[in-house]
Chains A and B, each alone.
Chain A
Amino acid sequence: MNFLEMRPAVEALLPGAAAETHETQRECVVTVEPTRWVETVQRLRDDPALRFDHLSSLTAVDEIAQGRFAIVAHLWSYPFRHALTVKTRVPRDAARLDTLTGLYRSADWMEREVYDLFGVAFAGHPDLRRLMMPEDYPKHPLRKDFTDDGFVPKPG
């Protein structure tokens, strides 16, 4: 299924969710409410026509101007060899989201990474510790307003 066929299929499966297609990236993006995050991904995974059995990436974008984080998951289907991008948005000051570890084991470290670098807490995660920064590090360095002792911003 290519990205153009993906859009009606996803919209039929997820009533009320906003799907869009990007010609240049050749991808289909579906945006959902954070409350329906896990349910959405589960339906996409279990649908016999889509079968997204692989979470290839989970990351976040700091949309500081809008005061929110976009959480972005890239799904891939091994049997059908097609991809889908699932997005949700959580407020920066209450950055919480349910975990996908119940659906994909690979979500474990990806969510730890997002927690480490953005400070998004994943509710229900089995082992939510920092992945890369030192254990006692107090900050989240990929936030746009990050600064620290000895941090040298690039001039210009």
Chain B
Amino acid sequence: MGMNGSPAPGELQELERLSRIPGYWTLERAIEYVFKWARKNSLWPLQYGTACCALEMMAAAAGRYDLARFGSEVFRPSPRQADLLIVAGTITNKMGDVLQRLYEQMPKPCWVMAMGNCTLTGGPFLYDSYTVVKGVDSFLPVDVYVPGCPPRPETLIHGLMEIQRKIDHEPMFALRVHQRTQELPNRERPVAGGGA
């Protein structure tokens, strides 16, 4: 499986074989409709927050803003049960390795939302900082950027709706290719216990 998004061996032949079946494309569209409807209305975010953005995320999930209206209230404490990564808060270089590991543990397809200025560019920690990652899109495939310091819950909900829109507009069966194009080279990871 190449990193440039080229089809796996035999994948094109498989598609060609399928497309010769009468009614295949109609069936695929019907399946796609149901799957997308299910996916976008039950996004389970990973319960992951590192700074003040996490408080806004909690506020968005709580009664007044009620993220549950968008089918997204089930915050999972395990990445293996989540399909939406809301990067809520400042990510340091040390935490970046943990975050990438969490992303890799999430079952695909999954979506990533960068919430708050820290995750977009480093935000208030851009200058003179020796610890903060200057934008999590340097090692995560970010789908939606939500600016703000921190963003209000309305903004987060808007970001969630954008992800739902994105799920709706992406061709689902080409998603296999799509996910492959988003594989990024591994960050260099520190070896635990290595000398300084």
Given contacts A129-B196, A130-B196, A150-B134, contact A136 B126 (CB under 8 A): no
Residue of B94, B130, B195 contacting most chain A CB atoms (<10 Å): B130
CB atoms of B130 and A138 under 8 A apart:
no
Q: Is the interface of A mostly helix, strand, loop or mixed?
A: loop
List B contacts of A146 (CB < 8 A).
130
CB atoms of B194 and A151 under 8 A apart:
no
Given contacts A150-B134, A152-B134, contact A135 B127 (CB under 8 A): no
Question: Is there a chain A Cβ closer than 8 Å to B193's Cβ?
Answer: yes
Q: Complex formed: what's the CA distance from A141 to B94 in Å?
A: 15
Question: Within A112-147, which residues are at the interface with B (CB < 8 Å)?
Answer: 116, 129-130, 132-138, 141, 146
CB atoms of B191 and A152 under 8 A apart:
no
A121 shortest CB reach to chain B, Å:
11
Other A-B pairs beyond A132-B131, A152-B128, 13, CB < 8 Å: A133-B94, A133-B130, A134-B94, A135-B195, A135-B196, A136-B194, A136-B196, A141-B130, A151-B128, A151-B129, A152-B126, A152-B129, A154-B128
A130 shortest CB reach to chain B, Å:
5
Q: Complex formed: what's the CA distance from A78 to B130 in Å?
A: 36
Q: Complex formed: what's the CA distance from A150 to B131 in Å?
A: 10
CB atoms of A153 and B190 under 8 A apart:
no
CB atoms of B128 and A134 under 8 A apart:
no
CB atoms of A134 and B134 under 8 A apart:
no
Q: Complex formed: what's the CA distance from A66 to B41 in Å?
A: 64
Q: Complex formed: what's the CA distance from A130 to B134 in Å?
A: 23
**Chain B residue, CB-CB nearest to A154:** B127
List B contacts of A5 (CB < 8 A).
none
A71 shortest CB reach to chain B, Å:
19
List A contacts of B122 (CB < 8 A).
152
Report how many residues on chain B are interfacial, defined by Cβ distance under 8 Å: 17
Binding site for B on A (CB under 8 A): 116, 129-130, 132-138, 141, 146, 148, 150-155
List A contacts of B15 (CB < 8 A).
none
Question: Lowest 9 CB-CB distances: which A-B pairs, in order?
Answer: A141-B130, A154-B127, A136-B194, A136-B190, A134-B190, A130-B196, A154-B128, A135-B194, A135-B190
CB atoms of B196 and A153 under 8 A apart:
no
Residue of B93, B122, B196 contacting most chain A CB atoms (<10 Å): B196
CB atoms of B194 and A152 under 8 A apart:
no
List B contacts of A129 (CB < 8 A).
196
Q: Complex formed: what's the CA distance from A22 to B130 in Å?
A: 33
**Chain A residue, CB-CB nearest to B133:** A150
Q: Complex formed: what's the CA distance from A133 to B194 in Å?
A: 12
Q: Complex formed: what's the CA distance from A148 to B131 in Å?
A: 11
**Chain B residue, CB-CB nearest to A129:** B196
List A contacts of B129 (CB < 8 A).
151-152
Question: Is there a chain A Cβ closer than 8 Å to B1's Cβ?
Answer: no
Q: Complex formed: what's the CA distance from A116 to B192 in Å?
A: 16
**Chain A residue, CB-CB nearest to B134:** A150
List B contacts of A132 (CB < 8 A).
131
